Structure 1
Amino acid sequence: MDRWSPATRDRHRHRGQRPGSGPWRGVGKITASGKYTLSAAAANDGSQAPSVILADAVDASGGDKLGVYLAGEFNAGRLVLGAGHTANSVKDTLRDAGIYLKTAVSAADPA
């Protein structure tokens, strides 16, 4: 399973600028190790509540990886979550952490 180091939290901050197109991964912190993993609702190790957004898809099997967003607005439709979570089920938890999920608005002419 992929895990990310606690040092990751301080590497990237997203403030007021629109991030790329994703997909974004909601990750939660494992209490015992302080590392992050994809947040799944049934987890009982602390990671069941997503707290940061992973900036890029990574394979952490070879070691810890860096790159998370601590705050910002993200397209809810491009958010990848673990089993049992939906964008609606984690919206309030992420908002408390300074992460806002928005739905995409079409720029197409409505005519």
Structure 2
Amino acid sequence: MRMTIPVAKVLSALLAEPGTERYGLDLMKLTGLPSGTLYPVLHRLQDAGWLAADWEEVDPAVAGRPARRYYRLTAEGVVAARRALAELRALAPQTGPSLGGAAGAPAW
């Protein structure tokens, strides 16, 4: 998996609560990514086996909205995402300007 900033943001959001299913708009709010960036990342993670996706079982007429597609990390995805983010953090400079996160921590 090629680790880009958008991929790191999505993985970080999903790892915050690994057992929680997230839908697209929720992930867009958590990551700040637009849909045109988010959904290709989700598809790549799914193709890699790191992410599972299922459609919500809801009647759109009753719910007053379309069915949502929920995403969650697979067991393999949790392990791989933690490893990938740890490797990325190890490469980040420990001093210098912050990327917007906590002091000295990358903002992903």
Same-fold call, TM cutoff 0.5: no
Normalized per residue, the structure richer in strand is: 1
Normalized per residue, the structure richer in helix is: 2
Q: TM-score, normalised by structure 2?
A: 0.30
Q: Which is higher, the Rg of structure 1 or of structure 2?
A: 2
